[in-house]
Amino acid sequence: MPGLAQVMAAVQGKKKALLTGAFFIACLLAPAVHADVCQLAEKGERVSSRVVIDGDTLELSDQRRVRLIGIDTPEIGRRGEPSQPFAQAARKRLEQLVRQPGLRLHVGRQPKDHYGRTLAHLYGPDGQNIEAQLLSEGLGFALAVPPNSALIDCHLAAEGLARQAKLGLWQDSPVQKASQIKSGGFALVGGQVVSANEAGGYLWLELDGPVVLRIAQDERRLFPAGAPGSWKGRRLEARGWVIDRRGQRHLKSGHKPFMLPLRHPSMLELQ
């Protein structure tokens, strides 16, 4: 089974042969990515959808609420709050993708989250991975949270199609500078490492803004090699859920108010 590098090389080659139009790029190339790296060995459980909650969550006809693995879509506004850009588009597209009979569900190695939702991959009647379809259209961000990381190559390749073609969320760069982070929540953060230290069983990477990245020592081996000090001065792009630590009693004076835990190497790109 080819890895991400081979998939993206094939994507680049096919892209040059296309005529014009970002929409056609996504539509023509996505099936090739899906066929190469998006299949699981198991056949999966046949299910049907009852209602779609948002772009990455749905309720099945058996009343299980499913949170799709490997993708984070924009938040739909609740209690009078506005929806994030493309949140409604992601929900409508998921509604279209799960409308037909013949869906297949693959529950993850970690079967549930702390909300009690089933964590799973979903496949359409045509055998294509639904998370990858949404990602290839620019309607979400790829994200691996161990141990549910089996399809990360698939999801990164699908996201890469949308990013190259500037579809959906990638029409304007969603990457925020570290200095611009002002709240918690999912984010893509770009910045420069100003210090790298090991303390309390973690590697801490302080960025040029109010953000620190945290990598657990037992997961450090998964990330780029080299002494932490060698990362100082390097630029990077990180993704994940930013935690707002303001008001927490254990936050010491001088510590960054926002912390982004990194648990998988796909959440960090050193530049």
Bridge partners, 105 (sequence order): 45, 122
Active site residue 117: yes
Altogether, the residues listed in the chain come to a count of 271
* Alpha carbon distances (Å) from 56 to 176, 209, 226: 22, 30, 36
Active site residue 137: no
Bridge partners, 236 (sequence order): 191, 270
Instruction: Confirm if 48 and 61 have CB atoms less than 8 A apart.
Output: yes
Active site residue 206: no
Out of 50, 64, 65, 117, which one is annotated catalytic? 117
Helix, strand, coil percentages for the chain (3-state, nearest 5): 30, 30, 40
For residues 264 and 144, give the distance between their C-alpha atoms in angstroms, rounded to a whole number: 6
Out of 50, 65, 75, 219, which one is annotated catalytic? 75
What tokens were used for 133? 């379809």
Q: What is the DSSP letter of 110?
A: E
Q: What is the DSSP letter of 139?
A: S
Q: φ and ψ at 122, to 5 degrees?
A: -130, 135
For residues 194 and 207, give the distance between their C-alpha atoms in angstroms, rounded to a whole number: 5
Buried/exposed code over 11-35 (b: 16+ C-beta within 10 A; e: otherwise):
beeeeeeeeeebeebbebbbbebbe
Residues with catalytic roles: 67, 75, 117
